[in-house]
């Protein structure tokens, strides 16, 4: 199995029920978990920058946009159809 398929796999149900489970793949797969975790970590970093810590100055609006764009770019990878290895 290639890495892209593994990140998007939900469970052994992927075989028989793959078409029915497709809408859940971006939310419940390992890749989906990683994408959502990245969003949470970025928002946490921005919140820490607003907390007034001497070690971390507040981010500018442009820096905040760039950080949030990272989460959009790093969305869950999608394996092309037919790329699944046996």
Average pLDDT over residues 50-58: 94
Calpha distance 27→35 (Å, rounded): 9
Stretch (H or E) spanning 68: helix 61-73
pLDDT reported for residue 69: 92
Calpha distance 67→55 (Å, rounded): 18
Could you read off the pLDDT of 10-50 as tens digits, one per residue?
676 667 777 887 888 777 788 888 888 999 999 999 999 99
Stretch (H or E) spanning 41: helix 30-50
Residue 4: band (very low, low, confident or very high) from pLDDT cuts 50, 70, 90 = low
Q: Do 23 and 5 form a contact (C-beta atoms < 8 A)?
A: no
Considering the chain, what percentage of its residues have pLDDT values greater than 90? Answer: 38
Matching residue, tokens 């990683």: 34
Matching residue, tokens 């609006």: 61
Residue 5: band (very low, low, confident or very high) from pLDDT cuts 50, 70, 90 = low
Kindly report the pTM of this predicted structure.
Answer: 0.66
């Amino acid at each position: 199995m290639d890495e892209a398929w593994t990140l998007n796999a939900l469970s052994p149900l992927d075989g028989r029920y793959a078409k029915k489970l497709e809408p859940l793949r971006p939310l419940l797969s390992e890749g989906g978990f990683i994408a959502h975790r990245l969003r949470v970590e970025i928002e946490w970093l921005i919140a820490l920058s607003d907390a007034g810590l001497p070690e971390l100055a507040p981010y500018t609006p442009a820096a905040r946009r760039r950080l949030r764009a990272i989460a959009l770019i790093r969305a869950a990878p999608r394996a092309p159809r037919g790329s699944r290895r046996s």
